[in-house]
Amino acid sequence: MPDDPALGLAAGSVADAALSGLLQPRKTLPAKLFYDEEGCRLFGRITELPEYYLTRTERILLAEIAPRVAALMDGPSVLVEYGASDEAKAEFLLREGVFRAYVPIDVAVPQLQQMRARLRERRPDLMVCMVPADFMEVAALPTEIPPLPRLGFFPGSTIGNLDPPEAQRFLRQALGALGHEAAFLIGVDLRKDPAVLVPAYDDAQGVTAAFNRNLLVRLNREAGANFDLTAFAHRAEWNDEASRIEMHLVCLRDQTVRVAGQMIHFARGETIHTESSYKYAPERFAALAEESGWHCTELWNDPARLFSLHLLEPRRGP
């Protein structure tokens, strides 16, 4: 089987990643498996759904605050974007003219190359230094990046897809990579009424359901699995204690499924937990950042308090 250049995962790793989750007493699949070609296409559609307020609210906020963020950088700087499959959100910052270099970090190599080509055309003076890597694994940045202050940028509330200890590990590692003169702008979805949250992850057109089920399509293709797609239903539920939306695939009948040569039993009603999307009250996210070596200096949200952008700086003192 071919490797998946979009994910940076060899075909065997897809099977390994799937099996290690499906052999747990409470079955899970890693959310990073969502993003094959079809998964990326479906995620693009999700961002345009009426129920999925996150992307459009963040864009409106970014347009508003970009001049202020650029002014705070106080001179020529470098923009480092974590999980940058395109430059659409970075553009709000790049157009302010203070960034001499842009460092997009993403596993999707073809997307990075296309982005660099577009930016060469549109912004010939901008140095684009792509980092083809999983953003969780970047402990240091390339040495050719100019020695200027850095703004880390992690939009989209992707940080919400990490369990809090993983989010802390990410924030600490980013501090090491960005350095003690950096700032970090992070998009964080806010905790809110489940009546708003649940439809954002279970839309009327069924796009999110297709996105969730596409995991099984992928395992059938790349991990030698034989899932019957009609035997699993999409479910999105709010876990109030953990403050997260959980996506599950619910097994509709007792069955045994082959995955990478192993037979796995699924009981009727049992679920595969496929994604968590944590929602943070502003003070909770600020505390998580503090525990990870950062200090929140600015917080912006939209008037309806759907979404927030946090600006962090390295924490000084004890």
What span, in angstroms and rounded, lies between the C-alpha atoms of 312 and 208? 32
Helix (H) or strand (E) holding 81: strand 77-82
Strand partners, 246: 237, 276
The residue among 49 and 148 lying less far from ligand AVI, judged by its C-beta, is: 49
CB 254 within 8 A of CB 267: yes
- Taking CB under 6 A as the criterion, the residue among 65, 160, 213, 286 binding ligand AVI is 160
* Chain residues 9-68 in contact with ligand AVI, contact rule CB under 6 A: 46, 54
Nearest position to ligand AVI, beta carbon = 277
- Taking CB under 6 A as the criterion, the residue among 28, 77, 85, 161 binding ligand AVI is 161
* Chain residues 247-286 in contact with ligand AVI, contact rule CB under 6 A: 275, 277
Q: Measuring CA to CA, which residue among 97, 100, 60 is closest to residue 80?
A: 100
| Candidate ranges 2-10, 62-70, 126-134, 155-163; the one touching ligand AVI (CB under 6 A) | 155-163
What span, in angstroms and rounded, lies between the C-alpha atoms of 152 and 184? 4
Could you give the string, one character per residue 195-234, with x where binding to ligand AVI holds by CB under 6 A and - elsewhere? ------x------x--------------------------
What span, in angstroms and rounded, lies between the C-alpha atoms of 201 and 207? 9
What span, in angstroms and rounded, lies between the C-alpha atoms of 128 and 79? 10
The residue among 159 and 178 lying less far from ligand AVI, judged by its C-beta, is: 159
Q: Which residues bind ligand AVI (CB under 6 A)?
A: 46, 54, 156-158, 160-161, 201, 208, 275, 277
